Amino acid sequence: MFRDRSILITGGTGSFGRVLARTLLRNHAPRRLVIFSRDELKQYEMRAEFGDDPRMRFFIGDVRDRERLERAFDGIDLVVHAAAMKQVPAAEYNPFEAIKTNVFGAENVINAAIDRGVERVIALSTDKAANPINLYGATKLCSDKLFVAGNSYAGENGARFAVVRYGNVVGSRGSVVPFFRKQRETGVVPVTDPRMTRFWITLEQGVQFVLRSFELMRGGEIFVPKIPSMKLLDLAEAIAPDCDTVNVGIRPGEKLHETLIGEDDARRTLEFDDHYVLVPEFSWWDGDGAKAGRPLPDGFSYCSDNNEWWLSVDELRQMSEKI
């Protein structure tokens, strides 16, 4: 799938992009790996980190700029769309900017991929796109819909688009882990709500799931991995066991529990041993590749508080120590 192929990562200087780039270069022998992002400093730092690998290219650009995307996509076989404005408070305060990047940027990626003959595109989504209550989640839900419908625009033999949706990433930029570590020095760790739960996945697990989804996709699917949940209080105990906790209340746009598959989505979802697939409701979708999937029962939902797989305090401590 990846050997001797030209691969581009939008938002490639982010936490996910760096781990994906390292994994591809180390294990999959791509012909060319293009890092597309708008931050020249992060590109400079990433170039220094990765050395002078002749397979790497760095493209300054913004997903809002369709002409720049079309230039960057020239000769590209596979695209991972990881660029996004993802901080919930920032999106609430700057709603037009979030829409320009997360919605119009998604449209630009789709059109550029079709026009430049890209074979497959996987877009990264979030649990906040399921039953969204904040603008970030709403823009990512809209983006998901665009990528699923993009297969209709591409036609029978055009680019194929799919989505990968998962939960909070351990150690990603803006993660709560470094924040708790910093607060540990004060002896007090602020917790938004003692009942709060979240899905939890490592960067490496996210990367491997995306790479596998490239091989599984036929176009139009939303892939959801089976991942564990954790309690925010348990995470605080794992990182700062000797500190007091103080409840500060849920922030605007924040949920008590996150959802990856809501009850309504579950009716068009198939279950596999280690993941779920939300199948598109379009006549063109080829369901042969999902025959092994099992329909979900009525009333099913996949939420961080009704998950059967939970991380213990010790497991959370081990995961956070690796960051």
Catalytic residue IDs: 128
DSSP state letters, 129-187 = GSS--SHHHHHHHHHHHHHHHHHHHH-TTS-EEEEE---EEET-TT-HHHHHHHHHTTT
Between CA 21 and CA 207 the distance in angstroms is 9
Place of tokens 């998950």: 307
Residue type, 258: E
Instruction: State the burial class of residue 289 (Cβ atoms within 10 Å of its Cβ: 0-12, 13-18, 19+).
Output: middle
* Strands 269-271 and 275-278, bridge-based pairing: antiparallel
Helix, strand and coil content of the chain, in percent to the nearest 5, comes to 40, 20, 40
Tokens at residue 200, please?
A: 């939890």
Q: How many CB atoms lie within 10 A of CB 292?
A: 9
Tell me the CA distances in angstroms from 178 to 15, 112, 290, one per residue in order. 14, 37, 39
- Yes or no: say if 83 and 143 are a contact pair by the CB < 8 Å rule: no
Q: Within 13 Å of residue 236, how many CA atoms lie on the same side as its CB? A: 21
Q: Are 42 and 51 in contact (CB under 8 A)?
A: no
Identify the DSSP state of 310. Answer: B
